[in-house]
């Protein structure tokens, strides 16, 4: 699964730490999600989408290998 968090952060001029504080996780967690090392829960994905005022599926995008 890929995501557009980095792009959305740049649009809003948020650092990883800013976003982490807004959704209540550590900066390392945001970093892991951005790099695709950690897939967030539905709750966290909804919170991230809410902060960016976007829909979840415009931030988190399924890839072909997610279906395998």
Contact 42, 14 (CB under 8 A): no
Name residue 3's beta-bridge partners. 60
Closest residue by Cα to residue 12 from 40, 50, 39, 43: 50
Give every CB contact of residue 45 below 8 A, 6+ residues apart in sequence.
56, 59, 60
- Residues 16-55 close enough to bind other proteins by CB under 8 A: 24-26, 28-29, 32, 37-38, 40-41, 43-44
Q: How far is the CB of 23 from other proteins (least distance, A)?
A: 9
Q: How far is the CB of 47 from other proteins (least distance, A)?
A: 10
Query: Which residue lies nearer to other proteins by CB, 11 or 36?
Result: 36
Binding site for other proteins (CB under 8 A): 24-26, 28-29, 32, 37-38, 40-41, 43-44
């Amino acid at each position: 699964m890929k995501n557009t968090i980095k792009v959305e952060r740049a649009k809003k001029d948020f650092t990883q730490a800013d976003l982490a504080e807004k959704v209540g996780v550590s900066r390392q967690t945001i970093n892991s999600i951005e790099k695709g090392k950690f897939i967030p829960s539905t709750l966290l994905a909804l919170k991230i989408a809410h902060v960016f005022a976007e829909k979840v599926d415009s931030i988190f995008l399924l890839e072909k290998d997610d279906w395998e």
